[in-house]
Amino acid sequence: MRITVLTSSRADYSIYLPLLKKLKADNYFELRIIAFGTHLSHRHGYTLNAILNDGFEVVHRVITLPKGDTPKMIAEAMASATAEFAEIWETEKALTDLVFCLGDRYEMFAAVAASVPFTIPVAHLHGGETTLGAIDNSFRHAITAMSRYHFVSTAKSAERVAQITGSTEHIYHVGAMSLDNLREITLLSKEEFKERFSIFPENPILVTFHPETISFSKNELYVKELIAALEGIDQQVIITMPNADTGNEQIRKALEDFAGRKENVHAVESLGTQGYFSCIAQSAFLLGNSSSGIIEAASFGKYVINLGSRQEGREAGENVLHRAFEKDAILEAIRQIGTLPPLKKENLYGDGRTSEKIVSILKTIG
């Protein structure tokens, strides 16, 4: 089976790396990768090199980044990406049996939408999930509608995909791919973490705040409230930078300025998969609005303060406390976590064997 993989960000690529490795190692599959989005951004670490270093063949490198972070610029980038992929699919159609799209961002929507007139079968992962505070929610459902095969993370997601597509055919409940990484990655010790990132993790609060792309005009207020809550905390704080969504620049600058004047606060562009999971393992709890708080944190037995509505609608375990982007609400949740009992490492998103299940299913439909 000839599989073309679409990847537009380091985060999504890292999540799906166990599946890519299994496909590459199996002679049944011929794997080709198209890299675009932040993979080709020097500001975001030019993570195309990570794909190449992992030994994968990248057959196309497509520049799809917007000129800025305004809605107009992102819409223009989507239009440009659609045109770029129209050219690509004209040649790739004859070389592809199945397209795998890793992620649900705007540039992924453009790439998949361009494939529709060419009738290339598309496989979608994590369809049926809802994130009301991000425009990715609309793109995710649209990609679901354009896809033929659906590998979903929960039973409820499977039901929602069936509602979107009007069919129960080719919907497979396999769990969340990111949990496979937990089975395969060797976590860094505190000393190894310090050597790599120049930070010794001492029971830190791990903070990740991405823009709310539905209510993007409020992001400036949200980051002010978040910083106000963290201002008086003496505990170590490790902040990972936001992704390239609408309004990310003002968030990035505010967090960098905050870290620059606080000795206990460290801002890091990207920890990578191993570093990020190692930081979760060492952390006191997670704070922000990243999907990692909803999906992966439970496997580490960590509490999460999930802020705002970016992840609203996504299924969450009992380890997740949902709060508004308000200083007092954040501080109250931090105090509450200090009174809660230790958690069991149980996760409604699966058992960490998702890639094995997908490979097995692909061989039955190939």
132 has a pLDDT exceeding 80: no
310 has a pLDDT exceeding 90: no
Q: What is the mean pLDDT of residues 108-132?
A: 93
213 has a pLDDT exceeding 80: no
- Domain co-membership, 74 together with 124: yes
pLDDT confidence bin for 23, thresholds 50/70/90: very high
Task: Look at residue 308 in the predicted model and tell me its pLDDT.
Answer: 93
Low-confidence winner among 2-6, 176-180, 297-301 (lowest mean pLDDT): 176-180
343 has a pLDDT exceeding 90: yes
pLDDT confidence bin for 123, thresholds 50/70/90: very high
- Domain co-membership, 198 together with 157: no
Residue-wise burial string across 127-148, b where 16 or more C-beta atoms lie within 10 A, e elsewhere: bbbbbebbbbbebbbebbebbb
Question: Within a domain: residue 271?
Answer: yes
The label of the residue with tokens 């440009």 reads 80
Question: Within a domain: residue 345?
Answer: no
Low-confidence winner among 125-129, 146-150, 309-313 (lowest mean pLDDT): 309-313
Q: What is the pTM of this model?
A: 0.76
Label the pairing between strands 58-62 and 98-102. unpaired
Question: Within a domain: residue 325?
Answer: yes
Q: What is the mean pLDDT of residues 307-332?
A: 94
Question: Within a domain: residue 185?
Answer: no
144 has a pLDDT exceeding 90: yes
- Domain co-membership, 171 together with 226: no
- Domain co-membership, 288 together with 202: yes
pLDDT confidence bin for 143, thresholds 50/70/90: very high
Q: Does the CA dihedral 265-270-272-273 come out positive or negative?
A: positive
- Domain co-membership, 262 together with 300: yes
241 has a pLDDT exceeding 80: yes
Other Cβ atoms less than 10 A from the Cβ of 73: the count is: 14
Low-confidence winner among 97-101, 194-198, 217-221, 327-331 (lowest mean pLDDT): 217-221
Cα 355 to Cα 180: distance, rounded to the nearest angstrom: 7
- Domain co-membership, 94 together with 236: no
- Domain co-membership, 121 together with 251: no
- Domain co-membership, 24 together with 149: yes
- Domain co-membership, 98 together with 39: yes
Task: Look at residue 285 in the predicted model and tell me its pLDDT.
Answer: 98
242 within 8 A of 210, measured Cβ to Cβ: yes
Cα 160 to Cα 145: distance, rounded to the nearest angstrom: 11
* Sheet architecture: strand order including 30-36: 58-62, 30-36, 2-7, 98-102, 122-125, 149-152, 171-173
Question: Within a domain: residue 184?
Answer: no
The domain total for the chain is 2
- Domain co-membership, 21 together with 132: yes
pLDDT confidence bin for 273, thresholds 50/70/90: confident
CA 333 vs CA 190, 298, 303, 328, 329: distances in Å: 26, 17, 10, 9, 6
Q: Which of 214, 191, 218 is nearest to 202 (CA)?
A: 191
Highest-pLDDT range among 209-213, 235-239, 346-350: 235-239
156 has a pLDDT exceeding 80: yes
Question: Within a domain: residue 342?
Answer: no
271 has a pLDDT exceeding 80: yes
Question: Within a domain: residue 76?
Answer: yes
Task: Look at residue 8 in the predicted model and tell me its pLDDT.
Answer: 92
Task: Look at residue 150 in the predicted model and tell me its pLDDT.
Answer: 98
Give the CATH number for residue 53. Answer: 3.40.50.2000
- Residue-averaged pLDDT of the chain: 93
Percent of the chain exceeding pLDDT 70 equals: 98
pLDDT confidence bin for 280, thresholds 50/70/90: very high
Task: Look at residue 10 in the predicted model and tell me its pLDDT.
Answer: 83
- Domain co-membership, 125 together with 232: no
Higher pLDDT, residue 185 or 282: 282
Q: What is the pLDDT of residues 63-109, one digit of tens each?
A: 998 888 888 999 999 999 999 999 999 999 999 999 999 888 899 99
3 has a pLDDT exceeding 90: yes
Task: Compute the half-sphere exposure of residue 238: CA atoms within 13 Å on the CB side of its CA.
Answer: 28
- Domain co-membership, 194 together with 62: no
Percent of the chain exceeding pLDDT 90 equals: 77
Question: Within a domain: residue 183?
Answer: no
**Domain range enclosing 205:** 190-337
Phi, psi dihedral angles at 358 (to 5 degrees)? -65, -45
